[in-house]
Amino acid sequence: MKDRQIVVGVAVVRDGKVLAALRPGADGGWEFPGGKVEVGESDEEAAVRELREELSLEIKLGASLGPAQPIGERYLLRVYLAELLAGEPVLHEHTAIRWLSVGDLKHIEWLPADRPFLPALHRILPAVF
Ligand SMILES: Nc1nc2c([nH]c(=O)n2[C@H]2C[C@H](O)[C@@H](COP(=O)(O)OP(=O)(O)OP(=O)(O)O)O2)c(=O)[nH]1
């Protein structure tokens, strides 16, 4: 797995709810906003850049939500909690967003690589930010 490119997903939390975003297209689905970590970037730098580009949000990255998960054969997904510092989401790439409470987490169709992170989020969400 050493040659896989890292993708960071960002679980932005506000008022006990987490932001999920709908990726359009044939292989689309609900995901944590974020994207590929470029050469020379830290996970946090990539997360901050992607959240600005995709949703016009300013975030502070927090704890990891668990071990990285493979996405197909080329990528590895890491998901982190994040605090929302400023902004209201503006959809530059996604077709919809939802702020989900714990009870809503299982009611949307997450991309497969995201699903292993949901139990940790379920445990943590009521206690953060
Ligand atoms: N951002 C994000 N991508 C995810 C998640 N789950 C998942 O399987 N993916 C997949 C979808 C894409 O194939 C890939 C991420 O690519 P991306 O299109 O977001 O990356 P990027 O913004 O850097 O895009 P690009 O410049 O390469 O076009 O990872 C997730 O929770 N967040």
Residue among 58, 77, 67, 66 at smallest CA distance from 14: 58
pTM over cut 0.90: yes
Confidence at residue 128, expressed as pLDDT on a 0 to 100 scale: 75
Distance CA 127, CA 36 (A): 29
Question: For residue range 86-123, what is the model confidence (pLDDT) as tens digits?
Answer: 999 999 999 999 999 999 999 999 999 999 999 999 99
| Domains of the chain, start order | 5-124 (3.90.79.10)
Give the position, in ligand 1's atom list, of the atom nearest the Cα of 53: 22
User: How far is the centre of ligand 1, averaged over its atoms, from the C-alpha of 34 (Å)?
Assistant: 7
pLDDT at 70 over 80: yes
Q: Which pLDDT belongs to residue 129?
A: 60
ipTM: 0.94
Nearest alpha carbon, ligand 1 atom 10 = 71
Backbone angles phi, psi at 92, to 5 degrees: -90, -25
Pocket test for ligand 1, best of 19, 36, 37, 74 (most atoms within 8 A of CB): 36
Mean pLDDT value across residues 72-79: 97
CB 55 within 8 A of CB 45: no
Q: What is the pLDDT of residues 1-54, one digit of tens each?
A: 568 999 999 999 999 999 999 999 999 999 999 999 999 999 999 999 999 999
